[in-house]
Each structure stands twice: as structure tokens, then as C-alpha cells.
Amino acid sequence: MEEHGARGHESVERGAKAVTNEIREIVLRHFDDFNSHNTTRLLAGLRSDVEWATGQDLISGAAQVEEIFDDGLWDLSPSLHPEFLVIEGHRAAVRCRESIVIDGSECEFQIAIFFEIRDGLIASVKVYREGSADLPS
């Protein structure tokens, strides 16, 4: 009986590791899509009813999120560089360094991004930028 219980515990651990690996892949793919400045690929990783919060903005739905990932954003040459990633269940927290170009000068910020994943897609994103989540004007 103990042996069966040990195997059952190992099965649960393997299942948890599989979920963790899936969440890690989804989040890292999101960063790759963002860094490639490919709006189509980035949106493909989001649920149609995604909730996106950054700064003072709360955006609902992939169609509205698409509006912020436009040429104006990509003209800033943004890139995200994950420094560490913590996963618990279907949620992930990432601290990363963001690089953007404003008025010809490269700026870097520390940001924290919190993801919730459902059905293999990003369902919720909350972005906190060092000092403020709003970009300087």
C-alpha cells in the first residue's frame, strides 16, 4: 500500500512539473513574440477575453490589446529580458528588464509582470514598471 501511495505522489509531482513547464513555455513564448515586435504572434498567445492592466489602463479583450501593440509602440524598439520567473499553478510572476528607445536614447526599467494562464493561453496580465507603469512622455 505504501508503495502505491509513493507512486501516486510521483504521478502528482510529474503532473505539476508538466503544468509548470507548460506555463514557462507560454510565458517565454510571449516574451519572444514581444521582442520580435510581431503583433499577430503576440495576440495568438492571448485569450480573446484577456484582461490587461498596465499603469492606469485596464484593457479588456484581445481586440483592444491589439490597439496598444501598434507601430507607435514598436517604433520605441521595446525589448523585455526576463531575469527570473516564478510559477505557481497556472500563474506566473516575472521580473524583467525592459529596454526602450525614447527620443533616440535607450532607457531601461525594471518591471514585474504577472500572468494567469487558462486553456493554454494568457488570460490576464498585470504590468508594474519601476516608478510607474506609464511610459515617460
Question: Under DSSP, is residue 18 helix (H, G, I), strand (E, B) or coil?
Answer: helix
Query: 7-11, 17-21, 48-52, 85-89 — which is least confidently predicted?
Result: 7-11
User: What count of other Cβ atoms lies within 10 Å of the Cβ of residue 76?
Assistant: 14
Residue 120 makes CB contacts below 8 A (sequence gap 6+) with: 22, 26
**Mean pLDDT over the full length of the chain:** 87
Does 2-129 carry CATH code 3.40.190.10? no
Q: 129 vs 3, 91, 120, CA distance in Å?
A: 49, 19, 26
Banded model confidence at residue 56, pLDDT cuts 50, 70, 90:
confident
**Domain ranges (residues) in the chain:** 2-129
pLDDT at residue 137 tops 80: no
Model confidence over 85-100: pLDDT tens digits? 999 999 999 999 999 9
Write out the DSSP string of 111-122.
Answer: EEEEEEEETTEE
